[in-house]
Amino acid sequence: MALTNPIGLEEPDETPPAAQPAPETTGHVTPVMAQFIEIKAANPDCLLFYRMGDFYELFFEDAEIAARALGIVLTKRGKHHGQDIPMCGVPIHRSDEYLHRLIALGHRVAVCEQLEDPAEAKKRGSKSVVKRDVVRLVTPGTLTEDSLLDARRNNYLLAVARARLSSVGEEARFALAWIDISTGEFRITETTRAALAAEIARLEPGEILVSDALYGDADLVPYWRSLPAVTPLTRDVFDSATAERRLTTFFAVAASDAFGALTRLELTAAAACVTYVERTQLGQRPPLSPPMRESAGASMAIDQATRGNLELTRTLGGERRGSLLDAIDRTVTSAGSRLLAQRLSAPLTASAEIDRRLDAVAALVGDLAVRADLRSRLQTAPDLARALSRLALGRGGPRDLSAIRDGIQAAADLTRALDALKETPAEIADAIKSCHRPSRALANELARALGDELPLIKRDGGFVREGYDAALDELRALRDESRRVIAALQARYADETGIKALKIRHNNVLGYFVEVTAQNGDKLMAPPLNATFIHRQTLAGQVRFTTTELGELEAKIASAADRALGLELDIFERLCAAVIAEGDAIKDCAEALARLDVAGALAQLAAERDYARPDIDDSHAFTIEGGRHPVVEQALARDGTPFVANDCDLSPPEEGEAGRIWLITGPNMAGKSTFLRQNALIAILAQMGSFVPARHAHIGVVDRLFSRVGAADDLARGRSTFMVEMVETAAILNQAGPRALVILDEIGRGTATFDGLSIAWATVEHLHDINKCRGLFATHYHELTALSARLPRLHNATVKVKEWKGDVVFLHEVTAGAADRSYGIQVAKLAGLPAPVIERAKLVLAKLEQEDRAAPKGFEDLPLFATPYKAAQPAADGAHDGLLKTLAALNPDDMSPREAMEALYALKAKLAGADVN
C-alpha cells in the first residue's frame, strides 16, 4: 500500500511509519522535537508551520488550534514527557489556501523552512537534523501572495502613534503611517482624535499597529476591540527618540529631510511601520516607496458612519456587490481597480487637481476608438507592482518575471494607442512618460530567457528557454538521456526476470528502486536473481529492490539534474537582480498603467450611462440638474425601469452667503432617502475626478460630507438605535462648517413624538444659523415646514405622490412645497398589513385629525409664533372626579406599553365626552 504519513520523508533520522514506528520518549525529546521546541519558543505568539518534507507540520497546542480552525484531522506523533504529542499538517502545495483561512481568523503564522538539503544533513551523521529556521512571519498586513490577497483591494499595514499632551484640555493628536507591502505604497498623515476613526475607515487596513500603552487606553479600548487585526507592540517599536534613525537606515538616506518636512510624531509612526516590516520579513526588504505626506484637508473628510450609510465601497451587509464602487468599476486591471477604490475613498478638495483628472476622462470620452484600443491593450497588462514586490522579497517565481516582461511590453505598446488623441491632457502625458521609464533591454532579456510554459515555483525548474544558456542545455541533455536509459533498463530487467509488471520508480527517501508485486518479490529474492537484485523494503502489496547498476546510474542522473536545476536558479537570481535594479522605474510604470486604466474606465462609464462633466470650483455652489442615483439607476435598468431624475439647488441665494438647506417631506417609499443619497454620491464622484449621473452639475468643493440616513443600533457598545442616531447627529453638528454637505434623514423619529420633533426643530436651526452648511433634511414632522418663514436659507421641498382609488402612487418627483400628509396608512397597506388593521387605523386617524382641528396642538408657546397660548378649559366637577378615580385605579408599573396607550386614549375620550370605541 502507499505511505499514508508523509512526515519525515526527507528527514535522515526518521523512516516511514510502515518500516519503523515513531519513537516514544520519556524524559528527553528527539532531535526533531528539540529543534521544533526551540524555534517555537522564539515565536510564542505565532502558529509555527514547521517544514518536514512536502508538508508543513504543527505540533502541541498549535496543532490543536489549527485542526479546529482548518477542519483537518488532528493526530499524534510520539510522546513528550510521557504525553502524546498532538500533530496535524498541511501539504506545501496547498499551504497558501490554509494560510489564508488562518489569517482571516486572526492568527499569525511563522513559516519555518528547511535551510539545507537533507543530503547535506546526512553527511554530518545519520541522526543529524536538517537545519531549519523561520524565514517569515505571516500577518494580515504583510501578505504578498496573489492567493492570499484580493487583487482589487489594497492591503494596508497601518501604524498609529499618539503625541504626548503638553497641557490639560489639549486635543490628542495622532499620526498615521500606512504601507501596502504588496505594492510598495507608503503614506503618512496627522489627524485628531475626532477624525481618527474616519481616517481608519477610509483606509480599511488589513492590520493596525499600536503601542501597548495606546492599546490599553481606557477611552480607546472599546474602539480597538471593535476593529479586526489590531496588533499591540512593545514600546521600542514606537520609540520617538530612535524613530528617525530607524527610518533613515531602512531607506539608506542620511537624514529624514529626504522625505520632506515630517513631524516627530509622523516619523514615529513611519518608523513603527518599517520596523514591523523588518521583523516580519526577517531581513528581506520590500521595494517601498519613500513615505509621502498627505496634507490635512487634501481630501474630503467622510466619517465612518457616512461611509457606511452611503455604501461607498461595501454595502451595509459587507459585500462589494451593490456598493457605489461596484456600480462604477469598469477597470480592466487589478491595479486600476485598487486605484479607483482609493480615489472613491478619498475625493479631492483641490479644484485644480480635480480638473486635471476630469480632463483625462473627457479626452477619452470624446474618442471612442482610442478608448477602446487603450482598454483592449490594458487587458494584457499584468500586476507589475505586486510581481515586483514578491521578487524583491524572495517569494517570486518564474511567472512573476514573465509579468514584469509582459507589463513593460504592454506599457510601451499602449502608449501608441494614445498617440491618436487630438489633445493629450497633462494626466495622460505624464502617464505616457512613466510608461517608457523601464528599460526595453530588460524586457528583451526576460523574453530571451523565459520559456513559453512556466512553472509556478522556481524549484520545479524548466523555465529557462532552450538556447539561452549553453551550459544549461548540455546538462539538460545529459539528464534527459539518462532518463531514457532508465526506461531502457526497466525494459531489460523485465525481460531478464520474466516479470512484465516490473517498474523502476523514484521517491525522495529511497531514490530510484525496482518495484514488483508481492507475488513476484520471492522470485527476485531467490537465487540466481538475488545476486543482482538487493532487497530494500517490503510493503503491503509491493516489494522494492535496488541494483548496483541502478545505483550508479542514479548518481549520474542526480548529478546532472541537480546541476541543471542549480544553474537555472542562478539564472533566476540574476534576472531578479536586474528587475530589482529597475524597481523605481517599474513602480512608476505600474502607477501610470493604473491611472490610464481609471481614466479609461471612468470614460467608459460616462459613455455607457450618459454622465456629464461637473463644473468644480471653490465657491459654495451646489446645483444639480437631472441628478440620478448611480447604483439605483443601474439596478432599475436591469428590469427595464427608467429612473426619475431630479434637480437639487443648495447654492447660496446671494454671492458670499452660506448655502441653502432643503427640508424635504413626503411619504415613506416615495424616494426621499434615494434623493438624499444621490446628491451626496454625485458630490463624491465629482471630486474624485469622475463624470456624474446628471444633465449638469456645478459643485463648489465640499470639504466634509456627513450623512445620517437609516437606523442601526450598536448593542455591543450599549447604544440603542436612538442613541446611535443622536451620537452621529452630535458629530455632525459639532464638526460641519460652511463648506460641508450634510444629509440628514428622519432625525428624532427614534423617540417620543414631541421629544423627536423638538430635537429635529433645534437641529435644523443649528444647521442654518451655526453650521451655515449646505444640507438636505428629510422628515415626517410636517410642523418643521413652518420654519421656512423665519429661516431665509431654508426651503421646503416634497416628493410628489397621487392617490388612486385608495392607493398611493409614488411619482418620485421632488418639487417645491410641503407634503400635506405622510400617507403612512397607504404605505402600510402596500406592505401587507391585514385589512382589519388598515380599516381600524383609518378610523383612529380620522378621529385624531378631527380632534386636532378642534383643538390644534401647535407651537404657540415658541417665540416663533405671536399667538398667545390658550389654556385648557377646566372639566366639570363630576367629570373631574371620574377622571381622578380612573387615574387612581391605574398601576403604571404593571402595565405594558400597549395597555398604557389604551388607558391614555380612554382618559382622553372621557375628557372630550366621546369614545373612540
Q: What DSSP line would sit under 790-813, residue for residue?
A: T-TTEEEEEEEEEEETTEEEEEEE
Q: Please compute the mean of the pLDDT values over residues 645-661 and round it to a whole number.
A: 91
Residue 52 marked in a binding site: no
The set of long-range contacts for 253-262, using a CB threshold of 8 Å and a minimum separation of 24, is 258/290, 259/290, 259/291, 259/293, 260/293, 261/293, 262/188, 262/291, 262/293
Lowest average pLDDT, out of 147-151, 261-265, 433-437, 890-894, goes to 890-894
pLDDT in tens, 331-362: 999 999 999 999 999 999 999 999 999 999 99
* Residue 31 banded pLDDT, cuts 50, 70, 90: confident
Residues 280, 141: Cα–Cα separation, whole Å: 10
As a whole number, mean pLDDT of residues 778-782 equals: 87
Cell numbers for 397, please give them: 517565481
**pLDDT at 871 (0 to 100):** 38
The response to whether 771 counts as a known ligand-binding position is no
So what's the pLDDT on residue 166?
A: 67
User: Distance between CA 702 and CA 721 in Å, rounded?
Assistant: 29
What pLDDT does residue 403 have? 96
The side-by-side arrangement of strands in the sheet containing 534-538 is: 503-507, 511-517, 542-546, 534-538
Cβ-in-10-Å burial (0-12, 13-18, 19+) of 722 comes to middle
More confident residue, 509 or 872: 509
pLDDT per position as a tens digit, 86-116: 999 999 888 888 998 998 888 999 999 988 8
Q: Is the pLDDT of residue 878 over 60?
A: no
The answer to whether 147-296 and 611-832 have equal CATH topology is no
Task: Please state, in angstroms and rounded to a whole number, the distance separating the CA atoms of residues 661 and 760.
Answer: 14
- Whether residue 17 is predicted with pLDDT greater than 50 in this model: the reply is no
**735 by DSSP, 3-state: which?**
helix
Calculate the average pLDDT of the chain.
Answer: 86
Question: Span 64-93, mean pLDDT?
Answer: 88
The confidence band for 917, taking pLDDT boundaries of 50, 70 and 90, is very low
Which residue in the block uniquely carries the three cell numbers 414631541? 754
583 is in an annotated binding site: no
The helix-helix angle for 426-435 and 351-365 (nearest 10°) equals: 80
| 470-574: in CATH 1.10.1420.10 | yes
**What does the DSSP assignment read for 223-269?**
HHHHSSSEEEE-GGGG-HHHHHHHHHHHHT-S-GGGG-S--HHHHHH
Omega of the bond prior to 836 within 30 degrees of 0, cis?
Answer: no
How many whole angstroms separate alpha carbon 324 and alpha carbon 340? 11
pLDDT tens track for 523-572: 999 899 988 999 999 988 899 999 998 988 888 777 888 889 999 999 99
Cβ-contact 49, 112 below 8 angstroms: yes
494 phi/psi in degrees, rounded to 5? -65, -40
Residue 771 DSSP label: I
611-832 under CATH 3.40.50.12170, yes or no: no
Least confident of 70-74, 649-653, 654-658, 862-866: 862-866
State the pairing for strand pair 207-211/230-233: parallel
Helix (H, G, I), strand (E, B) or coil at 19: coil
3-class secondary structure per residue, 41-62:
HHCCCCEEEEEECCEEEEEHHH
How much is the pLDDT for 13? Answer: 38
868 compared with 647, residue with greater pLDDT: 647
- What's the sign of the alpha-carbon dihedral 112, 118, 121, 127? positive
Buried b (16+ CB within 10 A) or exposed e, 830-844: eeeeeeeeeeeeeee
33 annotated to a ligand binding site: no
The residue among 674, 643, 668, 641 whose CA lies nearest residue 808 is: 668
Domain extent listing, the chain:
31-138, 147-296, 329-467+582-608, 470-574, 611-832, 873-917
Compare 716 and 573 and report the one with higher pLDDT.
Answer: 573
pLDDT of 491 reads 93
| C-alpha cell of residue 563 | 546541476
Question: Phi/psi at 172 (nearest 5 deg)?
Answer: -65, 140
Residue 370 has pLDDT above 90, yes or no: yes
Cα angle vertex 447, ends 446, 453, to 5°?
105
CA distance 190 to 177: 9
User: Beta 301-302 vs 704-708: how paired, if at all?
Assistant: parallel
Sign of the CA dihedral with 228 first, then 234, 237, and 239 last: positive
31-138 topology per CATH: MutS, DNA mismatch repair protein, domain I (3.40.1170)
Give residue 543's pLDDT: 93
β-pair type (696-700, 615-617): parallel
* Residue 562 contacts residue 472 (beta carbons within 8 Å): no
C-alpha cell at 601: 474606465
Q: What are phi and psi of 614, to 5 degrees?
A: -80, 150
User: What are the two backbone dihedrals, phi and then psi, of residue 647, each rounded to the nearest 5 degrees?
Assistant: -90, 160
- With 80 as the cut, is the pLDDT of residue 206 above it? yes
**DSSP state at residue 719:** B
**What does DSSP say about strands 807-816 and 185-192: parallel, antiparallel, or unpaired?**
unpaired
Q: Is 429 among the annotated ligand-binding positions? A: no
Strands 132-138 and 615-617: unpaired
Q: Does residue 23 carry a pLDDT above 60?
A: no
Q: Which of 607-616, 714-723, 884-893 has the lowest mean pLDDT?
A: 714-723
Pick the range with the lowest mean pLDDT from 214-218, 473-477, 752-756.
752-756
465: left (phi over 0), alpha (psi -120 to 50) or beta: beta
State yes or no: 659 annotated in a binding site.
no
Segment 791-810 mean pLDDT: 82
C-alpha cell at 632: 439605483
Q: Is the pLDDT of residue 896 over 80?
A: no
Segment 630-658 shows an average pLDDT of 91
pTM: 0.81
Position 439 pLDDT exceeds 70 = yes
For the stretch 479-524, pLDDT in tens is 788 778 888 899 999 999 999 999 999 887 788 899 999 889 989 9
pLDDT of res. 167: 65
For residue 539, CA distances in Å to 3, 490, 504, 799 come to 9, 21, 16, 82
C-alpha cell at 336: 486600476
Annotated ligand binding at 256? The verdict is no
Tell me: pLDDT of 172 over 90. Answer: no
Model confidence at 880, pLDDT cuts 50, 70, 90, reads low
C-alpha distances (whole Å) from 498 to each of 73, 494, 520, 548 are: 44, 6, 10, 20
| Weakest mean pLDDT among 108-122, 206-220, 440-454, 889-903 | 889-903
Residue % of the chain over a pLDDT of 70 = 89
Query: Is 832 within any annotated ligand binding site?
Result: no
Helix (H) or strand (E) holding 79: strand 75-80
C-alpha angle 510-559-53 in degrees, rounded to nearest 5: 40
Strand ordering across the sheet containing 696-700: 615-617, 696-700, 622-627, 646-649
Residue where the block lists cell 456587490: 321
Residue 517 parent element (H or E): strand 511-517
pLDDT for the residue 9: 28
Examine the pLDDT at 710 and tell me if it is beyond 90. Answer: no
Cell representation of residue 301: 473628510
- pLDDT per position as a tens digit, 225-270: 989 889 999 999 999 999 999 999 999 998 888 888 899 999 999 9
Q: Which fold has domain 329-467+582-608?
A: MutS, DNA mismatch repair protein; Chain A, domain 3 (1.10.1420)
Here the cell at position 215 is 492599546
CB atoms within 10 A of CB 189: 21
Cell 391585514 -> residue: 834
d(CA 198, CA 176): 12
Q: Which residues contact 9 (CB under 8 A, 6 or more apart)?
A: 3, 16, 52, 53, 54, 507, 508, 509
Residue whose C-alpha is closest to residue 142's, from 208, 70, 52: 208
How many other C-beta atoms can be found within 10 angstroms of the C-beta atom of residue 507? 12
CB neighbour list of residue 476: distance below 8 Å, 6 or more residues apart: 466, 564
List own/partner pairs for 460-465 with CB under 8 A and 24 or more apart: 461/564, 461/565, 461/568, 462/568, 463/398, 463/568, 463/572, 464/568, 464/571
CB 628 within 8 A of CB 696: no
User: What is the Cα–Cα distance from 621 to 631, expressed in whole angstroms?
Assistant: 24
Question: Hey, which CATH number is domain 147-296, 3.30.420.110, 2.60.40.790, 2.40.110.10, 3.60.21.10?
Answer: 3.30.420.110
Confidence of residue 405 (pLDDT cuts 50, 70, 90): very high
Q: What is the pLDDT of residue 169?
A: 62
pLDDT digit string, tens, across residues 835-857: 788 777 778 777 776 766 565 55
The number of residues in the chain equals 917
